[in-house]
Amino acid sequence: MVEIRKFRGLRARHDIVCQVAAPPYDVVSRGEARLIASGNPYSFLHIGKPEIDLPEEVGPYDDRVYQKGREAFLRFEKEKILIRDNQKNLYAYQQNRSGRSQTGIVAAANIQDYLDNRIRRHELTRPDKENDRVRHIDAINAQTGPSFLFFRSRRDAVELLNEITESFEMIRFTATDEVEHRFWVLPTFLSDRLISLFSEIETLYIADGHHRTAAASRVRRLRLTSHPNLSPTASCNFFLSVIFSHEQLTILPYNRAITDLNGNTPDQLIGKLKQRADVCRQGQPVYPDKAGVFGLFLDGAWYRLSLSSEHLGGNGSDPSEHLDVSRLHRTILEPILGIGDERTDARIQFVGGIRGTMELEKLVASGAAAAAFSLFPTTVEQLMAVADSEGIMPPKSTWFEPKLRDGLVSLVLDENL
């Protein structure tokens, strides 16, 4: 069973929360982050992506970046841009867009549950990005970006979440991403009911935040090494999380763009594809409507690719083989376009589904890519099947939307929970 705990959140001040809350540090480039934070001294990007306040020649992993982040964090506290709650709480966070809603519990999740695979992962982390978050957490002594977790839906949990949204204090604002964000501080009696309910849940899953979670685990190890008698309830033994019911979540596809055709002409590529799929030229962008169907933008035109039945299969015992990202790799990217390891091959670019097919057309039209593929999204059920089998998905298999905003609440590593 999993454990969640209340904590004294460091929260954005009510009257400026819309100015503080920012996109996650890892979904915007340095240039995009600098533009978002320009003229806004309250933007949490000054803490989460502090390289925006340093000269361009300073690399993102330079020691000065983490020092700058610490300075910004201390400034936000001193100027009461962020204010610490007097008591430990659980919180609730809801996002609404285009008629869809998801409501999660904001809590401190137990790192030991992550280490014991009760909080399950589905992707590998990159050492450079994991090291970055370790240094960031250690420098400011706080976890500022929540991990996005979920559980298999339960009626009692959903009913309890519905109770939350109908009452109690809340913050509400609509951000530039056109998502309405709502935030509650939960009363003690409701927090206790939730903690009891989660003690009956066997498994949580990481949707977004593998690097944050792995980094929190490493910081815990560092603190235990230097303080072997540290209490099991010390806040460094936990990590900041927002936990949703799986049926609320939306996964968008993670599309692919390829820089060259591996020596093929467009006509040769189409010819080779016809040996593996039904290929039909389209007069408009292709949004795959089922598994095994891909869109291809090539030489100014869209094609619909429907894999033949013999190319749909895979190792039946490995659920990751039945993902469309895996099918695309083993039937087209590797044998025809020569893409080896997608984690390291510089010839492949990953394009989050939120950017749409227009971004794929733009990449090809500009010459930044020779071809681009649109995919059918991975399902939440497929993700859970891979995680339950202790498998690993190919890189960039899922794009969860909407993204959680950074800065609404942080977990400071200075007390017992």
Read off the pLDDT band of 161 (50, 70, 90). confident
The pLDDT value given to residue 314 = 62
pLDDT at 380 over 70: yes
The pLDDT value given to residue 166 = 76
Q: What is the mean pLDDT of residues 202-209?
A: 96
The pLDDT value given to residue 193 = 93
Read off the pLDDT band of 315 (50, 70, 90). low
Tens-digit pLDDT profile for residues 166-183: 777 789 999 888 899 999
Q: Which residues pair with 406 in a beta bridge?
A: 22
**What mean pLDDT is reported for the chain?**
94
The pLDDT value given to residue 356 = 86
Tens-digit pLDDT profile for residues 65-96: 999 999 999 999 999 999 999 999 999 999 99
The percent of residues above 90 in pLDDT, for the chain, comes to: 84
pTM of the model: 0.92
CATH topology of domain 251-400: 3.30.1760
Tens-digit pLDDT profile for residues 94-122: 999 988 999 999 999 999 999 999 999 99
Q: How far apart are CA 219 and CA 236, in angstroms?
A: 7
Tens-digit pLDDT profile for residues 348-361: 999 988 888 999 99
Tens-digit pLDDT profile for residues 235-281: 999 999 999 999 999 999 999 999 999 999 999 999 999 999 999 99
The pLDDT value given to residue 402 = 93
The pLDDT value given to residue 167 = 72
pLDDT at 215 over 80: yes
Tens-digit pLDDT profile for residues 38-70: 999 999 999 999 999 999 999 999 999 999 999
User: Boundaries of CATH 3.30.1760.10 in the chain?
Assistant: 251-400
